[in-house]
Every structure is written in structure tokens, then in C-alpha cells.
């Protein structure tokens, strides 16, 4: 008998576990076959530490769960309607033999792609599940059916390979080994051809070599298409830089208008007074000299006065010998008159 399944995270599953006196059957760690409707298949690669090993990422929806043996009350399979099943993510690992097959089918060429015929169909994958079976209530009738809740272990990251799944996916890839040179070799050949064509003048013309205009166009096409791509990237980078600068300016403006922020305090207490001072254009008074500066000014003034006195003395003419004798005689007569005056005053 097949019946509709419910996920274990359903609210009714928790109520059933809390109820007492309800007949339930619980199975844990049961190996079951999952029916998964595959929606997409992507070729991915591991990291550098694993030498970029390829693998397949499979996404789909759970459609059925088939236990290894019949469950209580004759349940042989659980089914899920489209849109009601859980999402499934599986990761398919290639073994070394399969990698050799993929390389032989042109894995390193530009046309290599995942097969499309394996999507949109139901796959059977092996997984471990827990099940909770709720028996019908009361007397069983034809309309009474049990309710089964399921929980799939690791449904968001199933690790599968050829042995566990039974699918040899390497055989579904199309053989592109005869489609031309690999993509890497084509790029190298193109660069080598461009380098030689730019550096060496050929001894023969294109007409002499038998090259038509179509072949020249094919060779020159990748070079001509590179310039628009570079220009587009430069324009996009400039646009991104402008957007980032605008966002930063808007953030600073919002911070300056928000009360309590550092930008707001700077604008209100520092920038605003500076702007008002500039608008008023008030002359600023010169700073007062400190003690050492004033002492230096006094010393400079004294030195300047001494220099002026020295220059004045040097500029005065030197008196002759006769003139100096006359001045001495005059000074002596003045002293004698002074002594006579003191004696007359004393008598």
C-alpha cells in the first residue's frame, strides 16, 4: 500500500510524540530509496588543495520514499505531490577512471558541457531515514489509513558516486574530442600568432600564401572583440567608484546631521565658528610675545643704542694740541675761581 508522506518537522509530528496512549511505531536509521525529480545539474570544481577536481551538483525535489521492507499496516511506499516534497541537494563524485573518460571526451575543450537528458526525470538515490508511523484511531475501517512522518538524513548534502547510486554519469557526456583544439591551446596559439604577426614582416603576401579574406577575418575577430570588453569593464569600474563615493558622501552627511555623533559635534562646535569667523572677516590680533621674546627685544634695543653712540663718537672731529692746551688752561682757571669763592663765602 502506498500513502502520502509528511516531513518530520511538521507540527503534527510533534503533537503525536507528546500524546500519550497513542499507538505509534518509530523506525530510525532505515536505509531507503529516494525518488528525486532532478531539476538541475551543474559541473563544479573543488579547491586548489584538491587539484580542482570536478564533481556534479544535483538539485531536485523529493517525490517518494521506499523502505527496504514493508512498514506496519502494509505500507510499501510514501509519495509526495509536486511542490510538497523536500528539496534535495546531492553531490556526485567522479572516480579516477571516470575522469579519464571525461578527459577523452574533450573535458578541456570549450564545447564540453553537462548532459541535458538526465534532467527532468526521476532518479533513485539511496539514503538513511527515520520514520514515525501513527496507527489509525479506534476501529479500523476501509477509510482509515495510518499517517507516516519521515526525516531524511543529510537531504541537503547527499554524497553519492557511481557505486552508491548505480549511475555512471560519465557515460552520458557527449564526446567533443573531435571538435577542434582545446580552449587553452587555442588561446595560446592565438597569442603566439599575434605576437609573431606584430613582430615579424612576412616575406610572402596573403595572396601568395593562398589566404582568403574570410580566414583573415576569423583570426582577427577575437582581437577586435577584446577592445569593447575592456572599455565596458573600465566604464563599469568608474560607475562603481562613483556610486561608492556618493554613498560615502551621503553617509557623512547623515552622520553630521545626527545629534551626538562625532561628525555632528565637529560641525556644530568647530566648523560652524570657523565659518562665521571667515564670513565676518575679523582681523586677528597678533600674538603677545612671551618672556624670552621680550628679553630678546630689550637686548636688541640696547645693542642698537650702543652702536649709535659709538658711531656718534667716531663722527666727532678730534681737537688739535693747541686747542687741548687751551681747554686745560681754561679748566684750571675755573677751578681757582671756585676755590676763592668758597673762601669768601666762609669768611
Taking the model in full, what pTM does it have? 0.50
According to the model, what pLDDT value does residue 292 have? 60
**What pLDDT, on the 0 to 100 scale, is given for residue 124?**
93
CA 329 to chain centre: 108
Q: Is the pLDDT of residue 253 over 50?
A: yes
| pLDDT of res. 195 | 45
Q: Are 130 and 64 in contact (CB under 8 A)?
A: no
pLDDT confidence tier of residue 123, bands split at 50, 70 and 90: very high
Give CA 108 to chain center in angstroms: 30
74-107 pLDDT tens trace: 899 999 989 889 999 999 999 999 999 999 988 8
Other Cβ atoms less than 10 A from the Cβ of 86: the count is 18
Of the listed ranges 8-12, 65-69, 298-302, 304-308, the one predicted with least confidence: 298-302
* Helix (H) or strand (E) run with residue 151 in it: strand 147-152
Task: Provide, rounded to the nearest whole percent, the portion of the chain with pLDDT above 70.
Answer: 65
In this prediction, residue 318 carries a pLDDT of 54
Q: Which residues, listed in sequence order, are joined to residue 64 by a DSSP beta bridge?
A: 35, 79
**Distance between CA 176 and CA 259 in Å, rounded?**
67
Stretch 321-340: mean pLDDT: 70
Task: Return the pLDDT at 333.
Answer: 75
| Statement: residue 188 has pLDDT above 50 | no
| Helix pair 183-199, 213-257: axis angle to 10 deg | 100
Q: Which residues of 133-168 are buried (b: 16+ CB within 10 A; e: fewer)?
A: bbeeeeeeeeeeebbbbbbbeebeebebbbeebebe
CA distances from 67 to 155, 192, 218 (A): 16, 61, 59
Which residues contact residue 45 at a Cβ distance below 8 angstroms, ignoring those fewer than 6 apart?
52, 53, 54, 55
Q: What tens digit of pLDDT does each residue of 51-70 get?
A: 899 999 999 999 999 998 98
pLDDT at 223: 47
Could you write out the three-class secondary structure of 157-206? CEEEEHHHHCCCHHHHCCCCCCCCCCHHHHHHHHHHHHHHHHHCCCCCCH
CA distance 272 to 278: 10
Q: In angstroms, rounded to a whole number, what is the distance separating the alpha carbons of residues 345 and 339? A: 10
* Mean pLDDT of all residues in 247-267: 80
- The mean pLDDT of the chain is 76
User: Cell for 179?
Assistant: 571538435
User: What confidence tier does 200 reach under pLDDT thresholds 50, 70, 90?
Assistant: very low
Asked which of 57-61, 80-84, 169-173, 252-256 is least confident by mean pLDDT, the reply is: 252-256
The confidence score (pLDDT) of residue 326 equals 79
State percent of the chain over pLDDT 90. Answer: 25
- For residues 297 and 93, the model is more confident at 93
Mean pLDDT value across residues 328-344 = 62
The predicted structure's pLDDT at residue 338:
55
The pLDDT of residue 154: 93
CB count within 10 Å of CB 65 equals 22
Q: How far apart are CA 164 and CA 92, in angstroms?
A: 10
Question: Rounded to an integer, what distance in angstroms lies between the CA atom of residue 176 and that of residue 115?
Answer: 12
Nine-digit cell at 135?
496507527
**What pLDDT does 244 receive?**
86
Distance of CA 224 to the CA centre of its chain: 32
Which has more pLDDT, 245 or 197? Answer: 245
Residue 325 has pLDDT above 60, yes or no: yes
Specify the pLDDT at position 274. Answer: 79
pLDDT of residue 32: 93
Q: Is the pLDDT of residue 286 over 90?
A: no
- One DSSP character per residue, 212-242 reads -HHHHHHHHHHHHHHHHHHHHHHHHHHHHHH
Phi, psi of 86 (to 5 degrees): -75, 155
Q: What is the dihedral of CA 293, 297, 299, 300, to 10 degrees?
A: 130
Nearest C-alpha neighbor of 151 from the set 270, 1, 56, 34: 34
Amino acid at each position: 500500500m502506498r500513502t502520502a508522506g509528511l516531513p518530520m518537522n511538521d507540527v503534527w509530528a510533534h503533537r503525536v510524540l507528546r500524546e500519550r496512549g497513542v499507538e505509534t511505531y518509530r523506525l530510525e536509521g532505515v536505509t531507503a530509496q529516494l525518488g528525486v525529480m532532478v531539476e538541475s545539474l551543474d559541473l563544479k570544481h573543488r579547491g586548489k588543495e584538491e587539484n580542482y577536481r570536478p564533481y556534479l551538483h544535483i538539485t531536485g525535489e523529493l517525490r517518494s520514499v521506499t523502505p527496504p521492507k514493508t512498514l506496519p499496516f502494509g505500507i510499501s511506499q510514501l509519495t509526495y505531490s509536486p511542490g510538497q516534497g523536500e528539496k534535495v541537494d546531492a553531490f556526485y563524485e567522479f572516480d579516477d577512471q571516470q575522469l579519464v573518460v571525461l578527459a577523452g571526451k574533450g573535458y578541456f575543450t570549450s564545447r564540453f558541457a553537462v548532459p541535458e537528458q538526465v534532467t527532468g526525470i526521476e532518479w533513485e538515490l539511496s539514503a538513511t531515514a527515520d520514520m514515525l508511523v501513527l496507527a489509525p484511531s479506534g476501529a479500523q475501517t476501509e477509510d482509515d489509513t495510518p499517517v507516516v512522518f519521515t526525516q531524511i538524513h543529510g537531504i541537503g548534502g547527499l554524497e553519492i558516486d557511481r557505486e552508491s547510486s548505480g549511475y555512471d554519469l560519465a557515460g552520458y557526456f557527449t564526446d567533443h574530442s573531435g571538435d577542434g583544439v582545446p580552449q587553452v591551446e587555442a588561446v595560446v596559439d592565438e597569442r603566439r600568432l599575434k605576437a609573431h604577426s606584430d613582430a615579424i614582416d612576412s616575406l610572402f603576401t596573403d595572396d601568395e600564401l593562398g589566404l582568403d579574406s574570410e580566414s583573415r577575418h576569423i583570426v582577427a575577430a577575437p582581437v577586435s572583440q577584446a577592445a569593447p570588453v575592456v572599455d565596458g569593464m573600465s566604464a563599469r569600474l568608474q560607475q562603481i567608484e562613483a556610486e561608492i563615493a556618493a554613498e560615502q558622501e551621503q553617509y557623512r552627511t547623515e552622520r553630521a546631521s545626527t545629534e551626538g555623533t562625532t561628525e555632528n559635534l565637529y560641525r556644530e562646535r568647530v566648523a560652524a565658528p570657523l565659518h562665521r569667523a571667515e564670513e565676518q572677516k575679523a582681523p586677528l590680533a597678533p600674538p603677545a610675545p612671551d618672556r624670552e621674546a621680550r628679553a630678546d627685544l630689550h637686548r636688541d634695543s640696547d645693542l642698537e643704542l650702543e652702536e649709535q653712540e659709538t658711531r656718534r663718537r667716531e663722527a666727532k672731529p678730534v681737537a688739535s694740541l693747541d686747542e687741548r692746551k687751551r681747554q686745560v688752561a681754561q679748566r684750571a682757571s675755573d677751578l681757582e675761581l671756585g676755590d676763592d669763592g668758597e673762601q669768601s663765602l666762609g669768611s
